[in-house]
Structures are given as structure tokens and as C-alpha cells.
Amino acid sequence: MKFGLHSINVNSCASPEAASRFGRAAEAAGFDSLWVADHVVLPDPPVAGRPMPPDMRLLDPIVTLTFLAAHTSRIKLATGVIILPQRQAVVLAKQLASLDVLSNGRLIFGLGVGWCEPEMKSTGAPFAERGRVADDYLAAMRALWTQSKPAHHGRYVSFDGVQAMPRPVQSTIPIVVGGRTPPAYRRAVTQGHGWYGFGIDVEETRKCVNALREAEKKNARPAELGRLEISATPPGYDVPDKALIDAYAGVGVDRLILRPRPDMDPSALERFAAEAGRALGLTR
């Protein structure tokens, strides 16, 4: 089992001192990865069933990970997840390639298609078409990252006769797909190196993994993607004990991504990372 930390750009983590101290402490404690959330704006008042406060502090994910790249040297830097239809594909490809270069190849690109219609409306993204947009954007971004003569002609983005240098340090940027719908499972199976579920308990994780396995029966998985890696963030803020870790592992989870309580100050965040690392047996 690998372990990451989420929400490093949210709430009390969303300050230079807190983010840098928490990032360095997580790396020293032996965590595998740092994960950031993504919302450009939040609905005010909140959408039913999504009680995120409109005034929640939430830094831009790419800016935050670039900042963390300068304060760490080994830990992986992951978007968990970027709402892809809200970004312009060519611009985002350049930003992520730049982040991979500046971090010396530590990027994990987690993506989702989004759930918040007011947010998408504010960015001009077509909510009803968000899945098709995401698929087209991802194909375009991969073309820019990997093709010697990048070209892509899709419904939502089209280009040829261009170059975008420098290319990512990694020959293949790991792609992690978020979402708990049949299209998300299909997207993970056919286009992702991994799948990510946020705030899900063991039983819900079991259902998602079973759905992913069913999707693999219906959709051909490219051999170059390898085995689909499963990541999950448990509900709440407690460090899981061995029994809970074993339960997640038993349903197929490869990485647990924990999160600190939202009201922790920089010193408390450092202690949380250090103490969690020791409790999980990560600290050498």
C-alpha cells in the first residue's frame, strides 16, 4: 500500500507557510504523493447535496503544485482531480508539461469531468457535453506531449503544424481518472493508468472496483496502460489502523490518500504528517 496526502491547497493549507511546511513534512515522513483539489469558483449558495462553503479557501492546483515542487525534491505531485472540461486543452497541456519539467518528472495528472453546473457555466464549459469534451481534450493533450509532429482534429479542439516545447520529463505522464459513473469507469479503463475515489468507505470502494472490472470486460484496455491502479481517500480525517488498511487492500486499493483536518495551523500540519508517517510505518 502506498500513502498520499490530499487537500494541500484547501482550507488552512492554502497559505505559503502552511503548504510549504506540510509538503516538506510529508516528504520527510515518507508519503508517496501530495494531492490537490480543483474548483475555479464555488456556487453561492451551495448546490444541494454538496455542502462546500462558498468562501472556502482553495488555491489553483497547478500553481500550488509548482510552488510545492520548489519546496520538495522527491514526493510525487498529483491533481486530485482537475476538472478537465473547464480548462483549455492546449494551455493546460503546456502548464502540466512545465510542471513536470520543473518538478523533474513528478507529476500525476488526475482528471474528472465535474459535477457543478454553476461552476461550469461561469467558465463557459458545456455542462451537458462535459464527458465528450474531456475525452477530446485528453487526446489532444497526449498528442502535444508525445507526437513528434503534434496533430489532433477533434470536435472541441483541433491543431496541426505546431510544437509545444519542452515536452514532459516523463515519457508517459500517469493519468488518473476520477468519478463514480459508468462513463468515468470506461474512461479509466480505456485511458487511465489509475482510478481515484474521494471520500469513499470500504464498501463503496468495493462497488467501484467491481464496476471497473465490469467495464474492463466491455472495453478493451490498451496494453501499454498496464494494470489499473486504484487510489482512494477514506471519509473523515483519521489515520487508518492496520485493520482498515487491510480492508481497503482487500478490495483492491493500491494507494490511500489521507487528508488533514481543515482547521490545522502550520505546526499542527507538520505534526500530523510526521505522526501519520510513523503510525503507518513510512518513516525510516
Q: Which tens digits make up the pLDDT trace of 174-225? A: 999 999 999 999 999 999 999 999 999 999 999 999 999 999 999 999 999 9
Q: For 91, how many CA atoms within 13 A lie in the half-sphere containing its CB? A: 6
| CA dist., res. 149 & res. 162, Å (int) | 7
pLDDT of residue 48: 85
Phi then psi for residue 193, to 5 deg, are: -80, -20
Averaged pLDDT, 95-121: 97
Q: Enumerate residues 6+ apart whose C-beta is below 8 A from 136.
A: 89, 154, 155, 156, 157
Q: Who wins on pLDDT, 173 or 47? A: 173
The pLDDT of residue 7 is above 80:
yes
pLDDT band at 284 (very low <50, low <70, confident <90, very high): low
pLDDT band at 252 (very low <50, low <70, confident <90, very high): very high
pLDDT of residue 54: 94
Task: Identify whether the C-beta of residue 279 lies closer than 8 Å to the C-beta of residue 239.
Answer: yes
pLDDT of residue 233: 98
Q: Give me the residue spans of the domains in the chain.
A: 2-279
- The three-class DSSP label of residue 80 is coil
Q: CATH homologous superfamily of domain 2-279?
A: Luciferase-like domain (3.20.20.30)
pLDDT band at 49 (very low <50, low <70, confident <90, very high): confident
Task: Identify whether the C-beta of residue 185 lies closer than 8 Å to the C-beta of residue 200.
Answer: no
Task: Identify whether the C-beta of residue 190 lies closer than 8 Å to the C-beta of residue 138.
Answer: no
- What are the angstrom distances between the C-alpha of 66 and each of 13, 31, 110? 15, 18, 15
What global pTM score does this model have? 0.97
